[in-house]
Structure 1
């Protein structure tokens, strides 16, 4: 009887630890550059952030080689949206 309780308690602890480890695996902000290979990075000018009220996606914009890039994101969700304005006159 005691060994059954011990096994059940051990199984419950293992499940709780496993769920805790899985919950910590979704923080995309702390996983830099794990999405695609890159040839370098641009730390020159910061991106302009557009912060929306809760429930709406935020956005960031930045110039890259004369093109303006918009990226919409929603916190740590696994999705984002990208738009490019080719030859934007505001980008030098």
Structure 2
């Protein structure tokens, strides 16, 4: 293979990698992950920010239940926990 062909292929591969990783950000398109019936902006969530390398968390009341959501930057994983009838979630 000629040197110019290899350079062209490397440039195309780099451009494809840049576009593929730049378009995958969860933060670039908020609320595009699943259908939803609405949103609750009445009370802000409490954020628990951990040091770098550890998952962050957010917590908020949903009716009488407290919901915890863990997330780690732009990675594809996280978790949800619910505390039913949490006394801090009174109306």
Partner of 1:20: 18
RMSD across aligned positions (CA): 1.7
What is the TM-score of this pair, normalised by structure 2?
0.85
CA distance in 1, matches of 2:8, 2:50: 45
Higher helix proportion (structure 1 or 2):
1
Question: Which deviates the most, 30-39 or 57-66?
Answer: 30-39
Unaligned runs of 5+ in 1: none
Match of 2:82 in 1: 84
Question: Take 2:14 and 2:22, find their aligned partners in 1: how far apart are those partners?
Answer: 13
> For residues 58 and 80 of structure 1, what CA distance do their matches in structure 2 show?
9
C-alpha distance in 2, partners of 1:62/1:76? 21
